[in-house]
């Protein structure tokens, strides 16, 4: 990925712009009042990009494939991987959630209420369904 630093005029003022285009995304630009600030930002972007490449190449093919699959599923549900991971770390998301039928949920509720001595509160038609 090419990262460029060049001078530009913004409303008559000379500034420096750092411009780059991540793969699969739109070009990004950041503006700075000095060339040294722009050069520092450009170097940070290059360093981060190199580090990301090293991590990616350190994964096995199966790990990369699995990661891509997870990202695609998360995006399809309007989520991003960072949010899901942060919620998991603090216990807001369980590792596995097995899908259950309504019948199974009703049966579990009946058993739980029976154990708590509240089975008589369950309407008869729920127990027969």
pLDDT at 35 exceeding the cut of 80: yes
pLDDT band for position 126 (50/70/90)?
low
CA–CA dist 30, 18 (Å, integer):
5
**pTM of this structure:** 0.47
pLDDT at 38 exceeding the cut of 90: yes
3-state secondary structure of 32: strand
Residues with Cβ within 8 Å of 18's Cβ and at least 6 positions away in sequence, in order, are 3, 4, 5, 29, 30, 31, 32, 38, 41, 42, 45
Q: What pLDDT sits at residue 125? A: 58
The answer to which of 4-8, 41-45, 89-93, 116-120 has the lowest mean pLDDT is 116-120
Q: Where are the domains of the chain?
A: 1-58, 59-97, 99-129
pLDDT at 59 exceeding the cut of 90: no
């Amino acid at each position: 990925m090419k990262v460029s630093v060049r001078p530009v005029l913004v409303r008559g003022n000379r500034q420096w712009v750092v411009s780059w285009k991540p793969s699969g995304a739109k070009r990004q630009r950041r503006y700075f009042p000095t060339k040294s600030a722009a050069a520092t930002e450009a170097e940070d972007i290059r360093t981060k990009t190199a580090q990301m490449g090293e991590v990616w190449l350190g994964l096995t093919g199966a790990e990369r494939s699995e990661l891509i699959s997870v990202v695609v599923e998360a995006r399809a549900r309007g989520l991003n991987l960072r949010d899901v991971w942060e919620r998991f770390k603090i216990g807001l998301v369980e590792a596995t959630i097995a899908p259950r039928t309504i019948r199974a949920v009703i049966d579990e509720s009946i058993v739980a209420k029976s154990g708590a001595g509240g089975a008589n509160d369950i309407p008869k038609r729920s127990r027969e369904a």
